[in-house]
Structure 1
Amino acid sequence: MKNGNLLKAVFWVLLAVCCWPGVSAPIALVAGITFGIAIGNPWSATTSTWSRRLLQASVVGLGFGMNLPELLKTGKDAFLYTAVSISFTMIVGYLLGRSFKIPRRTSTLICFGSAICGGSAIAAMAPVIKAEAEETGVALATVFTLNSIALILFPPLGHLLGMGQRQFGLWSALAIHDTSSVVGAAAAYGGLALAIGTTVKLTRALWIMPSALVAAWFTKSEGKVKVPLFIIGFIAAAAIKTALPQFNQVWNPLNGVAKQSLVVTLFLIGCGLTREVLGRTGVKPLAQGVILWAIVSVTSATAILIGWIS
């Protein structure tokens, strides 16, 4: 009992520290992962739910730091290459799944999560293809593990490759799965990288609905496809900020709170990477996810550095 109380006390202290503006996204994630693996998460289900909700609220708050015309232009420019990236990822992922002889639904979920929007895409697709809870859990664990690694590796790799902020924002949005990890990596790189990364990533996330609807049509599924409302909120916040610039003394603090709440979100996400989660991943699904992620990362970085994507 005493150990349980101490565990909870450590969790709350770390959570409170992550609310301080001096704590960056990578530090919060590493703290969360260390806590989850070394000690264990006392509220794994609760932190998973709240990390998702806090992420969505944070993304909406980031809209108060955006200019709507620039946002729409970036989204329009991103539409084509996000479509190409998603198609490429799904094809390569399908071939990898076949070669590793991974169960079809598990492989589909890993491909879909890698191609579009990580956990959100998996959650949207799972009921459509009637995936079992264990299949969904394996796909989530695989994608989640890679998200955590990407958040730590991408910023130093971006500097090593000599990427500017716009280039890195594009790369993180195209090669990292979850919105939280894209935003966290881009925020560590710079303000412009954050703006570009968030916008392109949300454009990529918009493909959840049409992709899930196509899958539902092919499988004759009656599962419901949910509208990602936080994306609508993000655009609405940018519209309000653009239409009412005289209230920037209100919008700027809201944007600042949203950025720090993302740091807290990443701590909660890190806490979810426990030994139990790693144990559920399995060698073959993890191999599929790692190889697919490496191919997409290298291909998209190359396309950006040679100017095919700008």
Structure 2
Amino acid sequence: MKRKTGVVLAASLAVILAAAGLQTSRRHPMAGSLFSWNKTAVSEEGIEAVLTIDEQLPLTQLFQEFPLDMLEEKSEIRQFISRLHSRGIDCYALMGNSAWALEEQAEEVLTQLNLVYDYNQASSAAQRLRGVVLDIEPYLLPQWDTEDRLMLLRQYAEQMTAYYKYAQKLGLEVVICLPYWYDKDYAAPLEQLIGQACDQAAIMNYNRHDEAGQLAKEAEYAQRYHKTLIHIYEFIAPGKHGLESGNTYHDASLDELRQSWTRLQEQFPQDQIYPGYHYLEEVQAFLERQ
């Protein structure tokens, strides 16, 4: 009798999750996440690029930026997501603007969240977005160099917490992107961001010197609040965006990448931390050079 009840409850839960657009991933344990900022990737060619990467760097999540008109029109995205789901890859709407850290920009963020919700409501379970990725970097604002940085980060953490609560009501998971260095001087906002503002925290750990040590505090918070941590690997060439060779895997080998990931798995609990790759075209080029 107990076994039958458990099966019924599990089935009911699966129905509820699917209805909310939070269907469980087909792969266990979770593999990697791939960022894609190229809006033209939502095509047959784009899907093939993702699946080619998936063969060498297994994926369970694609973080894809979508044009607003494409979300409103829906049909092209539905085909794209359905194909990904058939391979066990969940899709998230990738979006971000440093100005969204400010309270006066909240309406724009909520509008974007509502747009994703409306898309999901009009789509089948296999066509839905699992959630959103909020790449909001307050340190890119002019205020970062002219105002109290700690106060700015506290305000940002409050905004992110509010966005997360709103997204939860819409049945959307939230991934937030954070730099690896917040723990040095801004531990309190960092703890709030990981503990209260996301389901997954993707750490831009762009310093190959001490990858595990740089994640120690973030991993502590993730474990405390039962959150998932993503260690993002950068693949952009040195010289771009201020990157140096020690910030990127652009010129590394696939073996070096895998060795790095093995070391991180040895340092942190299983099913807590997963790799992320930034971003589609750069990762594709990296694998072609191997």
Same fold (TM over 0.5): no
Scaled to the shorter chain, the TM-score interval is under 0.3
Structure-2-length-normalised TM-score: 0.25
Instruction: For CA contacts below 8 A with separation 6 or more, give which structure has more relative contact order.
Output: 1
Quick check: which one's strand share is greater?
2
Q: Which has the higher helix share?
A: 1
